[in-house]
Chain A
Amino acid sequence: MDVPQIKKAAKVYDVVIVGSGAGGGMAAYQLSKAGANVALLEAGGYFDPADPKYINQLKWVYESPRRGAGTTRAFGDFDAAWGGWEIEGEPYSAAKGTEFHWFRSRMLGGRTNHWGRISLRFGPDDFKRKSLTGIGEDWPLGYEDYAPYYDKVDDLIGVFGSKEGLRDAPDGRFLPPPKPRLHELMIKKAAKGIGIPVIPSRLSILTKPIHDRGGCFYCAQCGRACQAYADFSSSSVLCIPAVKTGRVNLINNAMAREVLTDAKTGLVTGVSYVDTLTMTEQAVMGKVVVLAASTCETARLLLNSKSPRFQNGLANSSGVVGKYLNDSTGASRSAFIPSLMDRKRYNEDGVGGAHIYTPWWLDNKKLDFPRGYHIEYGGGMGMPMYGFGFGMEGRNNMVPGRDGKPKEAGGYGADLKDDFRRFYGANIGMAGRGEPVPLESNYCEIDPNTVDRYGIPTLRFNYKWSDAEIKQAKHMQDTFEEIIHAMGGIPLGKKPGPENNYGLEAPGKIIHEIGTARMGNDPKTSVLNKYSQAHDVKNLFVVDAAAFPSQGDKNVTWTILANSWRTSDYIIDQVKQKNI
């Protein structure tokens, strides 16, 4: 077989962006609007939530032969994300005794097509964890640097919420929040009664139409992608408008192999990639390269971009690339609420996600773990999906039958059929999402033994939770039971305990990973400066969550968007000043 020839396009773009998720989409949008000619590489195919070719929204469960089961899509048959934890021909590994699960979405807009739309700002203290607690790392920036960008992101993309005046959960420029559903009102009342705050969610869903996008029509299916563009996904809100400027060349099915550099100047000159449809080697050249391939894919790309000048991988003189990888903690519990049995039926789909949440409310100085978490809630009379009715034998003896007599668990026949009706909509769930302590010992590296189907060396993960996260999960479980009991509910299943880290999900499972090319003021301990510009290479930038030193207990998408916008402004400024 011939050695593949790399086809270099003659054109030199102002900017080459790798990845079309939140970070890459925002950079493509801002830079193209500012007049730059952009090449936007996306490893997966084209996706437009409004094109019938891609629409799953408003399909009935029985239109799926597996009734929505997650056989080929981890989050169910109607979920918008292509890809998942495992992608054929694209393996990864974990060092012995460690674990990491890597969710990848190969499509325009990446993982923003199916996410929970939870759009939280960091609080001022989230940028200063080392100063405040002695562990972790400070950002080279503070809330005051991001506040104007958070405001601009709110206005451009749209987010609903309520003004609460909480220091740790700063208010934004909110659209009106939807009213809580019935079970959410019950959670709110019970939690408030035991001193746990419950406030309206902050989701990037349009409760009022803005910028030619449609308003939410309350089908609860944001995870399927919205044909009215009434929620934020990078495909619909950033990438497609960016392409419409006429200055963005979107290159789909382009799996980046290496960032190319000039041996003399040490500057980046472009990106080589595999066209996954033709399996040909290609390259696209640019004056500036912006990486937004996702936290781990960006680290992989940097580590794989080796040259005599950058023997340790690109922008890695510090040796920090791949290190300090951290994902949100996650633990959950569900409960049966007897008072919700035999409910009146009405359409309570609402927006895609909870209408309420609990921001972190305690002081870690008084606790035995150093970082906080927020709580997300679920429940209601949703569309029955695959899994409905499984486990009734553990449930239907918890309350007397219609005749008031005790019931035997399990059963069959007309009586069982009636139980399904009675129990419908009487379950709730709650899940904690917490801040981990970033550790140098949690990292991804290039696996010396393995390549993917494109011949690109793959990642090997090394990740273990520390005591800080396990104790936080224990606290979550205790809190969940307190809330459930305050509601008069019955917790389902056995309470998770030390035997399974209190239900703490395995690293990577929450899909909030960050930190593999963190920014900082010291080039010896960080990869990027405070403009997300590589310390070692001035025309190389990273605008995904790889750049983040820590993640707070806030889902990071809003900060990715704010940081990418800020970085884009800096790139425009530096080009104008002829510094890059």
Chain B
Amino acid sequence: MKRRDSLKAITLSSLGFAGLNPQIAAAESIVPPDIKPVKIPGGRQKFEAERDAKLKADKFFTPHELRTVTVLGDIIIPADAKSGSASQAGVPAFIEFMMKDQPQWQTPMRGGIRWLDNVCVKRFEKKFADCTKAQQIEIVDEIAYPAKAKPNMSQGVSFFNMMRGFVATGFFTSPIGIKDLGYVGNTPNQWEGVPADVLKQYNLSYDE
């Protein structure tokens, strides 16, 4: 048996027999000698480090789904004069991780992409990611503005709201996004109060 297959077999038999025969379960729980223990980064608990390593090794999105998320992400946050795009900031990989970290998002995400593809196939005979830019924007315009969206697009609105949130979080928590936003903290500092010019701008003072 190949090593990979023997590991699979161990997992299966553990699931099947652990409750019946503790000796077998105990024997199988011994970690094979060539599996390296997970390195625990500072500030993490062991179970967290192990969980993160497993999540990073797993895959959720299919290549098509990942491509769709990437296209949509860059429509939501494109590159502009000030900074790069969602995909340049690594947003698709962040969303991939969150799907595994918080599985309650999996159905709305996977189903939402499917909903989008279905609408596009009906209208353009192509899935969203394969549509022309103009076709993609035509659909996005119909789901990106909740107040003016047609009732038959309401599920798309919900999906787009979710995507907008994930893309914004992913982008603005990345090095590119933090620089764009202008957050300048997270460093040893002395707090001397609000700068004088800002106080003046808001007509406030520390003497009141």
Which residues of A pack against B, CB within 8 Å? 52-56, 58-62, 65-69, 71-72, 78, 82, 178-182, 185-186, 189, 217-220, 224, 339, 343-351, 381-393, 397, 408-414, 416-418, 420-421, 424
Contacts and interface: CB of A to CB of B under 8 A. Distances in A.
Contacts of A220: 185
Contacts of A339: 202
B164 A416 contact: yes
B187 interface: yes
B146 interface: yes
Interface string B164-208: 111111111111011011111111111111110111011010101
Contact of A384 (B52, B172, B187, B194): B172
Contacts of B56: 65
Interface in B77-112: 77-78, 80, 94, 97-98, 101-102
Contact of B208 (A78, A179, A189, A346): A189
Nearest to B85: A417
Nearest to B141: A412
B18 interface: no
Contacts, number: 197
A396 to B, nearest CB: 10
Interface of B: 42-43, 45, 47-48, 51-52, 55-56, 75-78, 80, 94, 97-98, 101-102, 140, 144-148, 160-161, 164-175, 177-178, 180-195, 197-199, 201-202, 204, 206, 208
A71 B165 CA distance: 17
B175 A389 contact: no
A65 B52 contact: yes
B35 to A, nearest CB: 22
B191 A179 contact: yes
Nearest to A424: B181
A181 B192 CA distance: 10
A67 B145 CA distance: 27
Nearest to B97: A65
Contacts of B181: 384, 420-421, 424
Contacts of A60: 175, 178, 186
A82 B45 contact: yes
Interface secondary structure of B, over-half rule: helix
B168 A348 contact: no
A182 B194 contact: yes
A344 B169 contact: no
A420 B184 CA distance: 16
Contacts of A67: 94, 169-170, 173
B80 A414 contact: yes
Contacts of B43: 54-56, 59, 78, 224
Contacts of A52: 42
Q: Which of B140, B204, B206 has the most CB of A within 10 A?
A: B204
Contacts of B185: 219-220, 347-349, 381-383
Contacts of A408: 145, 147-148
A389 B188 contact: no
B178 A384 contact: yes
Contacts of A414: 78, 80
A182 B76 contact: no
A58 B187 contact: yes
Given A347-B184, A383-B186, A389-B172, A179 B45 contact: no
Given A56-B43, A179-B192, A409-B147, A393 B173 contact: no
A393 B161 contact: yes
Contacts of B48: 72
B20 to A, nearest CB: 16
Contacts of A185: 194, 199, 202, 204, 206
Contacts of B198: 182, 343-344, 346
B165 to A, nearest CB: 3
Given A52-B42, A219-B185, A65 B101 contact: yes
Given A392-B168, A417-B78, A179 B102 contact: no
B193 A71 contact: no
A186 B144 contact: no
22 contacts: A52-B42, A56-B43, A62-B174, A66-B101, A72-B45, A185-B202, A217-B188, A218-B189, A224-B43, A344-B198, A347-B187, A347-B191, A348-B191, A383-B186, A384-B177, A392-B165, A392-B168, A393-B161, A410-B146, A417-B80, A418-B80, A421-B180
A229 B98 CA distance: 33
Given A62-B173, A392-B165, 9 more contacts: A58-B186, A58-B188, A62-B178, A179-B191, A180-B194, A219-B188, A347-B185, A410-B145, A416-B164
A424 B188 contact: no
Contacts of A382: 183, 185
Contacts of A55: 42-43
B55 A65 contact: yes
Contact of B206 (A53, A179, A411, A413): A179
B127 to A, nearest CB: 19
Contacts of A178: 191
A72 B43 CA distance: 13
B173 A68 contact: yes
A82 B46 CA distance: 11
A348 B145 contact: no
Q: Which of A181, A182, A397 has the most CB of B within 10 A?
A: A182
A223 to B, nearest CB: 13
A412 B42 contact: no
A224 B44 CA distance: 12
